[in-house]
Amino acid sequence: MRFFAALLVLMLGGCDIAVSDKNMLEHADTAGAPRFEDGVWLMSELDEETPCPVDTSQPVSKWPDCATWVVHREGQWFAREGNSGIATKAMPRSAVTVSNGNIAIVQLESDKPPVGDGTVDPLPYSFAAFDNKPAATAKLRSVRFWIVMCGRYERNDADTPDGDAEILVRFPGFDEKCRPASTQVLRDAAAASRPSASTELPDFHWARATLD
């Protein structure tokens, strides 16, 4: 789906993002999770070199095809069907799961096709996060998110051929494939992954109530 493609662009930096081969958010993690306003949600531009200006006062049918948007309605997300037009199709309920907490975890279940040998991607879950403090009582209309990492890069000062390189130092509780051992490990990683306050975070926001 185009929505996932745009968001996952931020996650393709290599083996440093938190991933999982199983659902990490159970009922206790999602009870009281933030809710989203019904309507059309628009992703901010992710590529500054190819701007895609959108006049949100116009119907979505008049938006450029490069715009990345989805529709939220009564707890269900609907993605654009195809790369143009305003036809939509429902995302699986499990495609986007949001947790409670001061930092909300967004669990994304990818819809990747089978890899070359016909097997299914064994690590279908990846994670983003956004600040949720104080916990919202009204439905959200804007989210600035970041990607949950499994560690951070640190300079390797050892007297080795790679001495000048940076190496990934995984956060506690992650294995060699960047899988968290528990939901708490994932929550701790979300907090540790948050960029500095001066960093401009991608914006996902409510744009209008209806498509047209």
- The string of pLDDT tens digits covering residues 39-87 is 999 998 766 678 899 999 999 999 999 999 999 999 999 999 998 999 9
Contact 149, 189 (CB under 8 A): yes
Give SS3 for 29: helix
What is residue 54's predicted lDDT score, i.e. its pLDDT?
A: 94
Structure-block tokens of residue 59: 């119907």
Instruction: Give the range of the structural domain holding residue 155, as residue numbers without chain letter.
Output: 2-208
Q: How far apart are CA 14 and CA 9, in angstroms?
A: 11
Cβ burial of 41 (10 Å; 0-12, 13-18, 19+) is buried
Predicted model pTM: 0.85
Q: Is the pLDDT of residue 9 over 70?
A: no
CA–CA distances in Å: residue 135 to residues 35, 39, 155: 10, 21, 37
Task: Provide the number of structural domains found in the chain.
Answer: 1
Confidence of residue 157 (pLDDT cuts 50, 70, 90): low
What is residue 116's predicted lDDT score, i.e. its pLDDT?
A: 53
What is residue 158's predicted lDDT score, i.e. its pLDDT?
A: 59
What is residue 134's predicted lDDT score, i.e. its pLDDT?
A: 73
Average pLDDT of the segment spanning 143-147? 94
What percent of the chain has a predicted confidence (pLDDT) above 90?
Answer: 68
What is residue 1's predicted lDDT score, i.e. its pLDDT?
A: 47
